[in-house]
Amino acid sequence: MADPVITVVDLRKTFAFGFLRRKVQAVRGLTFDVRPGEIFGFVGPNGAGKTTTIKMLMGLIFPTAGTCMLLGKRVPDLGAKRRVGFLPETPYFYEHLTGRELVDFAGRLFDLPASVRRPRTEKLLDLVGLTGAASLPLRKYSKGMLQRLGLAQALINDPEVVVLDEPMSGLDPIGRKEIRDLIGSLRSEGKTVFFSSHILSDVELLCDRCAIIVRGEIRDVGPLAQLLSPKLLHTEVVLDRAGAPEERRLTPGEDVDAFLRAAIDGGAKVVSVTPRKEHLEDLFVREVEADQARQ
């Protein structure tokens, strides 16, 4: 298998805060890796330690223990940074700049010549739908616009790896779909995408693999299909008995065929039969509940 793009080994971060230097273990020994070309979801409830982990990967904060590597190099490494794009959580940018100036500034930090920077800036502004607002100062941008501008500046170096912290937060459903499509198109360009989210449907729709993080610990890593137990929860049957709808949940042990035959013989119409397997949502709830039970 190709070398991992991101490697995290037993990563830990303890914050000391406040006057009494109270300690918070935000990340408690994470180990996972992200492989080339995959979309990797980093999911967990708020406060799980996603942003803290990503900040360590991006060299914004230093690990208390453990290592993180980007493209085979220990963080921070200038060569690796050159090939990475990053969108911070709820990004903030210089308010005195316009959208276009900001993306251009990002390009200058990669030392891109103007001949590359200019057309790429316009292309990216167009890609995120900000061409019309490109000359507005950023203080006039909405949260969603800043989020999209954040994506544009993250892609200015045509990165191999894209790290996105909550890329869908602050967006309306249409905006969310646009970002999802964009992440999908990054994959088809062969880029590796690592993104965090607390919104499960985003992860389910996009990811090849994901890691579930709760209270600073990883509960599971793998392809979604494996994380979700393949076991059937129940089968939902909706019948129409002479105009009156009836819903039945059959437990996995029950014989669905026999039930349906009996229902049809009894004069009912079958409206729908849905086998309900576990969703990421269920898994999430299960993990968080298990964690609370342990407290």
Partner 1 sequence: MNRIFAIALNTFREAMRDKLLYAILIFACLLILSAWGIGQLSMHEELRITKDVGLGGISVFGVILAIFAGVNLVYKEIERKTLYAFIPKPIHRWQFVLGKYLGLVLTLTAQVALMSVVLWITMAVQGWSPDGVMVRAVLLLYVQVLLVTAIAVFFSTFSTPYLSGLFTAGIFIIGRSTPDLRALILARFKDSPSTASALNWAIQVLPDLHLFFVSGGLVNGVPASIHAGSYVSWAYVAGATGYGLGYSACVLALAIFLFSRRDFV
Ligand X SMILES: Nc1ncnc2c1ncn2[C@@H]1O[C@H](COP(=O)(O)OP(=O)(O)O)[C@@H](O)[C@H]1O
Residues lying near Mg ion in the complex (CB under 5 A) are found at 50-51, 89
- The nearer residue to ligand X, 56 or 70, going by C-beta atoms, is 56
Kindly report the backbone phi and psi dihedral angles of residue 276, in degrees, each rounded to the nearest multiple of 5, phi listed first: -100, 110
44 interacts with ligand X by CB under 6 A: yes
Asked whether 67 and 16 are in contact (CB, 8 A), the reply is no
78 interacts with partner 1 by CB under 8 A: yes
The least CB distance from residue 170 to partner 1, in Å, is 14
65 interacts with partner 1 by CB under 8 A: no
How far apart (Å, rounded) are the C-alpha atoms in residues 209 and 204?
10
Residue 59 neighbours by CB under 8 Å, 6+ apart: 75, 76, 81
How far apart (Å, rounded) are the C-alpha atoms in residues 78 and 89?
22
Residue 184 neighbours by CB under 8 Å, 6+ apart: 39, 206
Site string for partner 1, 144-163 (x = CB under 8 A): ------x--xx---------
The least CB distance from residue 133 to partner 1, in Å, is 18
Footprint on residues 49-78 left by ligand X (CB under 6 A): 49-52
Residue 59 binding: pick among partner 1, Mg ion, ligand X, none (C-beta 5-8 Å cut-off by kind): partner 1
How far apart (Å, rounded) are the C-alpha atoms in residues 168 and 166?
6
Residue 48 binding: pick among Mg ion, ligand X, partner 1, none (C-beta 5-8 Å cut-off by kind): ligand X
Site string for partner 1, 16-55 (x = CB under 8 A): ---------------------------------------x
- The nearer residue to Mg ion, 89 or 160, going by C-beta atoms, is 89
Q: Which of 5, 11, 30, 48 binds ligand X (CB under 6 A)?
A: 48
106 interacts with partner 1 by CB under 8 A: yes
The least CB distance from residue 49 to ligand X, in Å, is 4
Q: Which residues bind partner 1 (CB under 8 A)?
A: 15, 55, 58-62, 78-79, 81-82, 84, 86-88, 91-94, 96-97, 105-106, 108-111, 150, 153-154
